[in-house]
Chain A
Amino acid sequence: DTGVSQNPRHKITKRGQNVTFRCDPISEHNRLYWYRQTLGQGPEFLTYFQNEAQLEKSRLLSDRFSAERPKGSFSTLEIQRTEQGDSAMYLCASSFPGQNTEAFFGQGTRLTVV
Protein backbone atom coordinates (compact mmCIF):
# COMPACT_ATOMS: atom_id res chain seq x y z
CA ASP A 1 0.00 0.00 0.00
CA THR A 2 1.35 3.42 -0.95
CA GLY A 3 -0.45 5.44 1.70
CA VAL A 4 -3.34 7.88 1.61
CA SER A 5 -3.97 9.31 -1.84
CA GLN A 6 -5.91 12.48 -2.69
CA ASN A 7 -7.04 13.84 -6.04
CA PRO A 8 -6.78 16.33 -7.52
CA ARG A 9 -3.70 17.93 -5.97
CA HIS A 10 -4.76 21.39 -7.07
CA LYS A 11 -8.10 22.84 -8.09
CA ILE A 12 -8.88 26.35 -9.28
CA THR A 13 -12.55 27.15 -9.66
CA LYS A 14 -14.76 30.14 -10.16
CA ARG A 15 -16.97 31.32 -7.35
CA GLY A 16 -20.32 29.61 -7.45
CA GLN A 17 -19.09 26.40 -9.07
CA ASN A 18 -19.25 22.97 -7.45
CA VAL A 19 -16.10 20.96 -6.77
CA THR A 20 -15.50 17.40 -5.65
CA PHE A 21 -12.36 15.93 -4.09
CA ARG A 22 -11.48 12.29 -3.64
CA CYS A 23 -9.55 10.48 -0.93
CA ASP A 24 -8.33 6.87 -1.05
CA PRO A 25 -7.28 5.78 2.44
CA ILE A 26 -4.82 3.08 3.44
CA SER A 27 -6.74 -0.07 2.58
CA GLU A 28 -6.84 -1.68 6.05
CA HIS A 29 -7.97 1.53 7.75
CA ASN A 30 -11.67 1.87 8.48
CA ARG A 31 -11.47 5.40 9.92
CA LEU A 32 -11.28 8.28 7.48
CA TYR A 33 -11.03 11.98 8.37
CA TRP A 34 -11.34 15.25 6.45
CA TYR A 35 -9.53 18.38 7.64
CA ARG A 36 -9.22 21.90 6.28
CA GLN A 37 -6.15 24.06 6.62
CA THR A 38 -5.92 27.78 5.91
CA LEU A 39 -2.76 29.83 5.66
CA GLY A 40 -0.82 30.05 8.91
CA GLN A 41 -3.14 27.73 10.80
CA GLY A 42 -3.11 24.11 11.82
CA PRO A 43 -5.52 21.67 10.20
CA GLU A 44 -9.09 21.87 11.49
CA PHE A 45 -11.37 18.86 11.76
CA LEU A 46 -14.33 18.71 9.35
CA THR A 47 -15.78 15.22 9.57
CA TYR A 48 -14.96 11.55 10.00
CA PHE A 49 -16.22 8.14 8.90
CA GLN A 50 -16.07 4.73 10.47
CA ASN A 51 -16.45 2.40 7.50
CA GLU A 52 -19.29 3.92 5.48
CA ALA A 53 -20.96 5.70 8.41
CA GLN A 54 -20.38 9.42 8.84
CA LEU A 55 -20.20 9.69 12.62
CA GLU A 56 -19.52 13.36 13.22
CA LYS A 57 -19.50 16.66 11.38
CA SER A 58 -17.89 19.87 12.60
CA ARG A 59 -19.88 23.07 12.68
CA LEU A 60 -17.30 24.26 10.12
CA LEU A 61 -19.02 21.96 7.64
CA SER A 62 -21.80 24.19 6.32
CA ASP A 63 -24.75 22.84 4.35
CA ARG A 64 -22.79 23.54 1.15
CA PHE A 65 -20.38 20.77 2.11
CA SER A 66 -21.17 17.08 1.84
CA ALA A 67 -18.97 14.05 2.33
CA GLU A 68 -19.59 10.44 1.47
CA ARG A 69 -17.87 7.11 1.82
CA PRO A 70 -20.31 4.84 0.01
CA LYS A 71 -18.59 1.47 0.33
CA GLY A 72 -16.35 2.17 3.26
CA SER A 73 -13.33 2.58 1.03
CA PHE A 74 -12.69 5.88 -0.80
CA SER A 75 -14.40 9.10 0.23
CA THR A 76 -15.51 12.22 -1.62
CA LEU A 77 -15.91 15.76 -0.32
CA GLU A 78 -18.14 18.04 -2.37
CA ILE A 79 -18.45 21.77 -1.99
CA GLN A 80 -21.43 23.37 -3.69
CA ARG A 81 -21.63 27.04 -4.74
CA THR A 82 -18.04 27.69 -3.78
CA GLU A 83 -17.09 30.95 -2.08
CA GLN A 84 -13.72 32.65 -1.84
CA GLY A 85 -13.60 31.73 1.84
CA ASP A 86 -13.52 28.08 0.85
CA SER A 87 -10.00 28.52 -0.53
CA ALA A 88 -7.83 26.25 1.60
CA MET A 89 -5.92 23.00 1.69
CA TYR A 90 -8.23 20.02 2.20
CA LEU A 91 -6.51 17.11 3.90
CA CYS A 92 -7.64 13.53 4.27
CA ALA A 93 -6.33 11.09 6.87
CA SER A 94 -6.97 7.47 7.75
CA SER A 95 -6.34 5.24 10.73
CA PHE A 96 -7.54 2.18 12.55
CA PRO A 97 -10.37 3.02 14.97
CA GLY A 98 -9.75 3.98 18.57
CA GLN A 99 -7.61 6.45 20.40
CA ASN A 100 -4.34 4.53 20.45
CA THR A 101 -3.72 4.49 16.73
CA GLU A 102 -1.58 6.53 14.38
CA ALA A 103 -3.19 8.63 11.66
CA PHE A 104 -1.65 9.10 8.22
CA PHE A 105 -2.38 11.99 5.88
CA GLY A 106 -2.61 12.33 2.15
CA GLN A 107 -0.91 14.96 0.02
CA GLY A 108 -3.91 17.27 0.25
CA THR A 109 -6.00 19.11 -2.33
CA ARG A 110 -5.31 22.82 -2.58
CA LEU A 111 -8.47 24.69 -3.59
CA THR A 112 -8.39 28.22 -4.95
CA VAL A 113 -11.71 29.97 -5.56
CA VAL A 114 -11.42 32.98 -7.87
Chain B
Amino acid sequence: GIQVEQSPPDLILQEGANSTLRCNFSDSVNNLQWFHQNPWGQLINLFYIPSGTKQNGRLSATTVATERYSLLYISSSQTTDSGVYFCAVYGNNRLAFGKGNQVVVIP
Protein backbone atom coordinates (compact mmCIF):
# COMPACT_ATOMS: atom_id res chain seq x y z
CA GLY B 1 0.00 0.00 0.00
CA ILE B 2 0.88 3.66 -0.13
CA GLN B 3 3.40 4.77 2.51
CA VAL B 4 2.99 8.18 4.12
CA GLU B 5 5.76 9.82 6.12
CA GLN B 6 5.36 13.02 8.09
CA SER B 7 8.08 15.23 9.50
CA PRO B 8 8.98 16.48 11.98
CA PRO B 9 7.23 14.07 14.36
CA ASP B 10 7.28 16.62 17.19
CA LEU B 11 7.47 20.39 17.10
CA ILE B 12 7.45 22.96 19.90
CA LEU B 13 6.70 26.53 18.87
CA GLN B 14 6.63 29.85 20.61
CA GLU B 15 3.32 31.59 20.10
CA GLY B 16 3.56 33.82 17.04
CA ALA B 17 6.13 31.67 15.25
CA ASN B 18 5.71 30.15 11.80
CA SER B 19 6.19 26.49 10.96
CA THR B 20 6.13 24.02 8.08
CA LEU B 21 4.98 20.42 8.30
CA ARG B 22 5.93 17.99 5.56
CA CYS B 23 4.20 14.91 4.15
CA ASN B 24 5.97 12.54 1.73
CA PHE B 25 4.10 9.73 0.02
CA SER B 26 5.33 6.74 -1.88
CA ASP B 27 3.07 6.64 -4.93
CA SER B 28 1.21 9.01 -7.18
CA VAL B 29 -2.14 10.02 -5.70
CA ASN B 30 -5.25 11.86 -6.79
CA ASN B 31 -6.43 12.88 -3.36
CA LEU B 32 -4.67 14.25 -0.30
CA GLN B 33 -6.16 15.66 2.87
CA TRP B 34 -4.74 17.40 5.94
CA PHE B 35 -6.49 17.00 9.28
CA HIS B 36 -6.08 18.44 12.77
CA GLN B 37 -6.96 16.04 15.56
CA ASN B 38 -8.53 17.91 18.43
CA PRO B 39 -7.95 16.97 22.10
CA TRP B 40 -11.11 14.85 22.07
CA GLY B 41 -9.86 12.79 19.16
CA GLN B 42 -11.96 14.10 16.29
CA LEU B 43 -10.26 14.64 12.95
CA ILE B 44 -11.07 18.11 11.70
CA ASN B 45 -10.72 18.69 7.96
CA LEU B 46 -8.19 21.39 7.13
CA PHE B 47 -7.54 20.96 3.42
CA TYR B 48 -8.53 18.73 0.56
CA ILE B 49 -5.57 19.38 -1.72
CA PRO B 50 -4.61 16.82 -4.40
CA SER B 51 -2.43 19.48 -6.06
CA GLY B 52 -1.66 23.17 -5.97
CA THR B 53 -1.91 25.64 -3.10
CA LYS B 54 -4.78 26.61 -0.83
CA GLN B 55 -5.07 29.05 2.04
CA ASN B 56 -7.47 29.25 4.93
CA GLY B 57 -6.70 32.03 7.37
CA ARG B 58 -3.33 31.44 8.99
CA LEU B 59 -3.02 27.99 7.45
CA SER B 60 -2.00 27.17 3.93
CA ALA B 61 -1.07 23.98 2.12
CA THR B 62 0.80 23.07 -1.03
CA THR B 63 0.87 19.70 -2.76
CA VAL B 64 3.38 18.88 -5.49
CA ALA B 65 1.92 15.62 -6.73
CA THR B 66 4.65 14.97 -9.30
CA GLU B 67 7.28 15.07 -6.54
CA ARG B 68 5.08 13.22 -4.03
CA TYR B 69 5.00 15.67 -1.17
CA SER B 70 2.72 18.13 0.54
CA LEU B 71 3.46 20.96 2.96
CA LEU B 72 1.26 22.53 5.62
CA TYR B 73 2.22 26.03 6.74
CA ILE B 74 1.14 27.51 10.05
CA SER B 75 1.75 31.23 10.36
CA SER B 76 1.59 33.34 13.52
CA SER B 77 0.89 30.21 15.57
CA GLN B 78 -1.54 30.33 18.48
CA THR B 79 -1.95 27.99 21.42
CA THR B 80 -5.15 26.69 19.82
CA ASP B 81 -3.02 25.33 16.97
CA SER B 82 -1.61 22.71 19.35
CA GLY B 83 -2.47 19.12 18.57
CA VAL B 84 -1.66 16.44 16.04
CA TYR B 85 -1.74 17.13 12.32
CA PHE B 86 -2.30 14.24 9.95
CA CYS B 87 -1.70 13.92 6.26
CA ALA B 88 -3.72 11.26 4.47
CA VAL B 89 -3.57 10.13 0.86
CA TYR B 90 -6.13 8.14 -1.08
CA GLY B 91 -5.22 4.84 -2.67
CA ASN B 92 -6.80 1.38 -2.96
CA ASN B 93 -10.20 2.75 -1.96
CA ARG B 94 -9.14 4.19 1.36
CA LEU B 95 -7.17 6.97 3.01
CA ALA B 96 -3.71 5.99 4.24
CA PHE B 97 -2.44 8.10 7.12
CA GLY B 98 0.97 9.14 8.32
CA LYS B 99 1.90 8.99 11.99
CA GLY B 100 1.21 12.68 12.42
CA ASN B 101 3.02 15.82 13.50
CA GLN B 102 2.60 16.59 17.21
CA VAL B 103 2.62 20.38 17.55
CA VAL B 104 2.80 22.21 20.87
CA VAL B 105 2.48 25.99 20.87
CA ILE B 106 3.63 27.62 24.09
CA PRO B 107 2.54 31.11 25.15
Interface residues of A (CB under 8 A from B): 33, 37, 40-45, 48, 55-56, 89, 91, 93, 99-108, 110
* Interchain CB contact under 8 A, A102 and B33: yes
* Interchain CB contact under 8 A, B99 and A91: no
Of the A-B pairs whose beta carbons lie under 8 Å apart in the complex, a sample of 30, sorted by A's number, is A33-B94, A42-B4, A42-B97, A42-B98, A43-B43, A43-B95, A43-B97, A44-B97, A45-B94, A48-B93, A48-B94, A55-B93, A89-B41, A91-B41, A91-B43, A99-B30, A100-B30, A100-B31, A100-B50, A102-B31, A102-B45, A102-B48, A103-B33, A104-B45, A105-B43, A106-B42, A107-B42, A108-B40, A108-B41, A110-B41
* Interchain CB contact under 8 A, B99 and A101: no
* Interchain CB contact under 8 A, B31 and A101: yes
Contacts of A43 in B (CB 8 A): 43, 86, 88, 95, 97
Contacts of A48 in B (CB 8 A): 93-94
Contacts of B4 in A (CB 8 A): 42
- Name the CB-closest residue of A to B30: A99
Q: Given contacts A40-B99, A99-B30, list 16 more A-B pairs with CB under 8 A.
A: A37-B41, A42-B98, A43-B86, A44-B97, A45-B96, A48-B93, A56-B93, A91-B41, A91-B43, A93-B95, A100-B50, A101-B31, A102-B45, A102-B48, A105-B35, A105-B43
